[in-house]
Amino acid sequence: MPFVNVRITRDGVTAEQKAQVIAEITETLERVLNKRPELTHIVIEEIDTDNWGYAGMTTTRYRKQLAESQE
């Protein structure tokens, strides 16, 4: 039973987009690994940008700095 956990930042991803991600991951596991779709579990976790960090800062701060540098 495959279990896939997808973590993304919470920034306006629609239900339709998430459904497409779930469908395409499921199809890929079936096509490549011969996994049965009815036994495949996909979880999408949306993380607030204040709780996701890289480059030594939160995503919120990083995006703010990036936007300011492009002004």
Tokens read off for 35: 């996994």
Pairwise CA distance, residues 10 & 62, whole Å: 15
Please list, in sequence order, all residues whose beta carbon lies within 8 angstroms of the beta carbon of residue 51, skipping any fewer than 6 positions away: 58
Residues acting as catalytic residues? 2
